[in-house]
Amino acid sequence: MAELTYRDALNQALAEELERDGSVFLLGEEVAEYDGAYKVSKGLLDRFGDKRVKDTPISELSFAGLGIGAAMVGLRPIVEFMTFNFSILALDSVINSASKMLSMSGGQIGIPIVFRGPSGAALQLGAQHSQACETWYLHAPGIKVVTPSTPADAKGLLKAAIRDNDPVAFMEGELLYNLKGEVPDDDDFVIPLGLADLKREGGDVSIITHGTMAHVALRAAGQLAKEGIEADVLDLRSLRPLDVDAILATVAKTNRAIYVEEGWPYLGVGAQIVSIIMEEAFDDLDAPVLRVTQADVPMPYNKKLEAWAKPGAARVVEACKKVLYV
Amino acid sequence: MEALSPTMEEGQVVKWLKSEGDDVTSGEIIAEIETDKATMELVARGDGVLRAILVGEGGTASVGEVIALIGAADEDISELKAASLLASEGNGAGEGRGGVALPDAEPAAPTDAPAGVAPASGSASAIDGRIKASPLARRLATESGVELSAVSGSGPAGRIVKRDIEAAIATGPTVPVAAAGTPVPVGGGTAAPISAAPVAAPVLVPSGAEFEDVPLSQMRKTIARRLTESIGPVPHFFLTIEVDMGRAMEARRTINAMLEPEGRKISLNDLIIRATAAALKRHPACNAHWLGDSIRRFNRVHIGVAVAVKDGLITPIIRDADLKGVAHIGAEVRELAGRAREKKLQPDEYTGATFSISNLGMFGIHEFTAVINPPEAGILAVGGVEEIPVVEAGQVVVRNRMKITMSCDHRVIDGALGAAFLATLKGMLEEPAAILV
């Protein structure tokens, strides 16, 4: 086991996959000369040259389209969005081409592309640069969505995403790049898509979450433990495909669940999870499933308001107690 | 009311899909009407606002009668309404008519007499008969036989949650699963009073709820399942005999006189159990079980005696009833019945009967038919002893007569066999000394 930062784990994954398969290449704003806006692609231009690591203009719609075109002719592009907020501009290519091409071509044209970059809020970046973008990518069938919360998950899942023949939106956490964690030393450490990870075990309540919020969930679980309440923390990791069995298993165990996400509540990821739990685990529920999300407002710039709008451990604890009727 | 089928003469409004004040457009479905044939859709024939509903849900109207008024929002409909009301009163057909949307055409079912169970005090969770409970709590209650209506909910707005069911299980006795259930309760004869009140008057519920759905207890489910298993696949036939109980009643008096110094007592039913056991020894083919691919004839006689308990019945067993004296049988029946009512029987005390008896005499029943407890081959339904006039040697005399109806599983017991058994039983009851032979 090595201890790596999330950033370095991603860098390793990119390097290993670029090495392994000559059709893999990276493109995006600042990925080459600048070593990446967040330094995720540090050293890759030097090592692999400018045919494998390419800087693009500030034009998400066109370079996303370019990547999709490259995928259509047999390459395996990794398109970096500096943040997923900017990718909203590229959604026409992503949704109308990447997600649908396989179906519309009757299975003839696959799009083995990865869109990656940070999603979600950082600190005081304002309404337009703080969006959690999962739902834009999840709604249309045809794209996989992955949200790693730890360095090990980041490395293993990115390698799997690059090797996946379907379009994958790989959403990193901007606040996680410096997070350190243990990463297995394996030559080829791959985590299959579609598997959740129980980050903490406890029998009283299930906190289900994904991405950066896994850490909020774990903090909340720690606070609950001081009061004698033990929580399961299930990090979904993959939102499509979804590990439904893991969700149902934790609900069957504790009979009550909370979903924590950094996106908005209306039609958020949690809404889908709640629907699944309600339909498939109805008789296991002792309480309604509650969601803890960002407040239903554009993210404030003001420091205190922003902190208030974000879902924090205190609100998660409160929600857990509500479903425990304590 | 439109003629929604060629043969329709009147229709009942099942449901209004629009309310007074709603806009309606021509062609829109505005109500569901039950006709002689089926439930049909009533469509608006013009645009406008549904100004008045004259026949409410549940109400009936003849074809051609006005049931609602559609018009402009500001139209004066008072005359039309008055005219319709007069017309409907004049018709006199159907109930619950008139005025503005009234539910319920039934001639006033009393709103304070529900289908039986008064909620336990402190149970705040029943609202209009609906009990709030989490899905998990409902499942646990069903599985453990806890009645939701008797549980107090500790969740928001009185919601019953898992811990409430767990508490109920911990404090209250659970309902034992009855392995055999005859459809009629008995308390062992005249000497044993029935502690659970039989045929209770409807209980008044102060909240005014019209009804309460009582979830099935385990016992209730088992009774339902067992009796359906029985009446369904078991080909029953029934034989009735009338027994003169004079000598049996004398025997009872004699025996009770003997037992008095010990403070013990027997009932007629105890005697009937003893006699039945003796008769079964003479006709072992009736003391049998149907096993599907064979018939099991028992060498020992274990009689199941039906006992009424709260919300159901159970059949505790008197084992080797042919080898026990009546006093012993009587004591056992009373002891088992007592524990049955407290739901404290062990499974081996109510499973394994070879034959069953049910006695409704103390309820004033003269005669009835009982449902066999599979896999047993037969069951006796014993009525009460009546003083009736009979003809003997050309004279009308008063005798004590009792009817016994035997239900037989025709796969095991044929008519002649059943008749022979009953003849023996009758002989033993009419001359108890025969039991000693």
What is the rounded average pLDDT of the residues B218-236?
Answer: 76
B157 touches chain A (CB under 8 A): no
* Interatomic CA distance for residues A270 and A208, integer angstroms: 9
Percentage above 70 pLDDT, chain A: 100
Which of A282-291, B87-96, B255-264, B290-299 is least confident?
B87-96
Sheet strand arrangement including A168-173: A53-55, A24-28, A76-80, A114-119, A168-173, A144-146, A238-240
> Going by DSSP bridges, is the β-strand pair B39-43/B10-16 parallel, antiparallel, or unpaired?
unpaired
> Residue B177: what pLDDT?
38
User: What's the rounded Cα separation, in Å, for the pair B305 and A226?
Assistant: 58
- For chain B, residues classed under CATH 4.10.320.10 are 126-171
Scan residues 297-336 of B and list those with Cβ closer than 8 Å to A.
none
Q: At B41, which helix (H) or strand (E)? A: strand B39-43
- Residues 6+ away with beta carbon under 8 Å from B206: none
| CATH number assigned to the domain covering A2-183 | 3.40.50.970
Would you call A283 and B138 a contact, using CB atoms and an 8 Å cutoff?
yes
Taking residues B352-359, report their average pLDDT.
Answer: 94
pLDDT at position B106 over 50? no
Higher pLDDT, B343 or B119: B343
Chain B interface disruption, residue of A286, A322, A325, A326, most B CBs within 10 A: A286
Which of B161, B163, B164, B165 is the best mutation test for A, with the most CBs of A within 10 A? B161
Q: Which residues of A touch B163 (CB under 8 A)?
A: 325
- Looking at residue B314, its pLDDT comes to 87
Q: How far does B133 lie from chain A, in Å, by closest CA?
A: 8
Burial bucket for residue B48 (CB in 10 Å: 0-12, 13-18, 19+): middle
Nearest residue of A to residue B163, measured between CA atoms: A286
Q: What is the pLDDT of residues A152-197, one digit of tens each?
A: 999 999 999 999 999 999 999 999 999 999 999 998 999 999 999 9
**Mean pLDDT of all residues in B49-73:** 88
Pick from A97, A245, A85: nearest CA to A171: A85
The pLDDT score that the predictor gives to residue A186 is: 92
State the number of CA atoms in the 13 A half-sphere of B119 facing the CB. 25
Q: Where in chain B do CATH 3.30.559.10 domains reside?
A: 218-436
Could you please report the per-residue DSSP string of B273-314?
A: HHHHHHHHHH-GGGSEEE-SSSEEEPSS--EEE-EEETTEEE
The confidence score (pLDDT) of residue B293 equals: 79
> What are the residues facing B378 on neighbouring strands?
B408
Residue-level pLDDT at B322: 92
Subunit contact B134:A325, Cβ cutoff 8 A: no
Measured between alpha carbons, how far is B204 from B202 in angstroms, rounded to an integer? 6
Beta strand A168-173 with A114-119 is parallel
Task: Check residue B34 and give its pLDDT.
Answer: 83
Q: What is the largest CA-CA distance in chain A?
A: 60
Q: Which residue has the higher pLDDT, B129 or B316?
A: B316
* Chain A contact for B134 (CB, 8 A cutoff): yes
A255 and B162 within 8 Å at the Cβ level: the answer is yes
State the ipTM, two decimals. 0.74
Categorize the per-residue pLDDT at B2 as very low, low, confident or very high, splitting at 50, 70 and 90: confident
Regarding beta strands B378-392 and B355-359, do their DSSP bridges make them parallel or antiparallel, or are they unpaired? parallel
* Residues forming a β-bridge with A292: A260
Nearest to A117 by CA among A169, A165, A63: A169
Cβ contact A284–B136 (<8 Å): yes
Encoded tokens for A244 = 């439904």
Q: Please give the share of chain B, as a percent, with pLDDT higher than 70.
A: 78
In this model, does residue B105 exceed pLDDT 90? no
User: Are the C-beta atoms of A236 and A230 separated by less than 8 Å?
Assistant: no
Alpha-carbon distance B162 to nearest alpha carbon in chain A (angstroms): 6
Q: B218-436: which CATH architecture?
A: 2-Layer Sandwich (3.30)
pLDDT for B95: 41
SS3 content of chain A, % helix, strand, coil (to 5): 40, 20, 40
A284-300 average pLDDT score = 97
Mean pLDDT, residues B233-252: 94
Q: Give the pLDDT confidence of B395-414 residue by residue, as tens digits.
A: 999 999 999 999 999 888 98
- Is the pLDDT higher at B152 or at B211? B152
- Give the pLDDT band of residue B88 (cuts 50, 70, 90): low
Q: What residue ranges do the domains of chain A occupy?
A: 2-183, 197-324
CB B186 within 8 A of CB B315: no
Catalytic residues of B: 410
Task: Note whether B139 contacts A285, CB cutoff 8 Å.
Answer: no
DSSP line for B123-164: -TTEETTEEPB-HHHHHHHHHHT--GGGPPP-SGGG-B-HHH
Amino acid occupying residue A218: L
pLDDT at B130: 76
**The pLDDT value given to residue B174:** 43
Closest to A15 in 3D by CA, of A177, A111, A159, A183:
A159
Average pLDDT over residues A66-90: 97
Q: What is the pLDDT of residue B173?
A: 53
pLDDT band at B211 (very low <50, low <70, confident <90, very high): low
Burial of A154 (0-12, 13-18, 19+ CB in 10 A): buried
B91 touches B65 (CB < 8 A): yes
Stretch among A12-26, B128-142, B314-328 having the lowest mean pLDDT = B128-142
DSSP state of A281: S
Q: Judge whether residue B57 has pLDDT over 60.
A: yes
- pLDDT at residue number B100: 37
> What residues are paired with B239 via a beta bridge?
B406
CA atoms A56, A57, A58, A59: torsion sign: negative
For residue A110, give the amino acid letter.
G
Q: What is the pLDDT of residue B92?
A: 42
Q: Given 1.10.3720.10, 3.40.50.920, 2.160.10.10, 3.40.50.2000, which CATH number is that of A197-324?
A: 3.40.50.920
Average model confidence (pLDDT) across chain A: 97
Q: Confidence class of residue B128 from pLDDT cuts 50, 70 and 90?
A: low
The mean pLDDT value for A57-62 works out to 96
The DSSP code for B228 is H
> Measured between CA atoms, how close is A281 to chain B, in angstroms?
9
**Mean pLDDT estimate for chain B:** 80
CA-nearest residue of chain A to B137?
A286
**Higher per-residue pLDDT: B128 or B17:** B17
Phi, psi angles (nearest 5°) of residue B425:
-60, -45
Q: Which residues of B touch A206 (CB under 8 A)?
A: none
Residue of A248, A277, A324, A325 to mutate for B, most B C-beta atoms under 10 A:
A325
B150, B123 Cβ separation under 8 angstroms: yes
Q: Is the pLDDT of residue B207 over 80?
A: no
Residue of B nearest to A282 (CA): B135
Instruction: Using the predicted structure, report yes or no on whether residue B342 has a pLDDT greater than 70.
Output: yes
Whether CATH 3.10.180.10 fits B10-91: no
Q: According to the model, what pLDDT value does residue A117 have?
A: 98
Name which of B135, B154, B163 is nearest A282 (Cβ-Cβ).
Answer: B135
Name the pLDDT band for A148 (thresholds 50, 70, 90): very high
Interchain contact, A283 vs B137, CB within 8 Å: no
pLDDT tens-digit readout, A229-272: 999 999 999 999 999 999 999 999 999 999 999 999 999 999 99
Q: How confident is the model at residue B89 (pLDDT cuts 50, 70, 90)?
A: low
> CB distance B156–A325 less than 8 Å?
yes
Cβ contact A287–B155 (<8 Å): yes
Other residues' Cβ atoms within 10 Å of the Cβ of residue A180: 14
Task: Provide the residue count of chain B.
Answer: 437
pLDDT at residue B260 is higher than 80: yes
Q: Which residue has the tokens 């969006």?
A: A131
Residue reference for tokens 């039906």: B306
Counted residue by residue, chain A has a size of 326
Q: Phi, psi at residue B47, to the nearest 5°?
A: -90, 155
Would the CB atoms of A325 and B161 count as touching at under 8 Å?
A: yes
Question: Which CATH architecture is the domain B126-171 placed in?
Answer: Irregular (4.10)
Instruction: Give me the mean pLDDT over the B200-213 stretch.
Output: 51
**What is the reported pTM?**
0.53
Using a CB–CB cutoff of 8 Å, tell me whether B151 touches chain A.
no
pLDDT given at position B347: 80
What is the pLDDT at residue B182?
40
Q: State mean pLDDT over B156-185.
A: 67
pLDDT attached to residue B120: 39
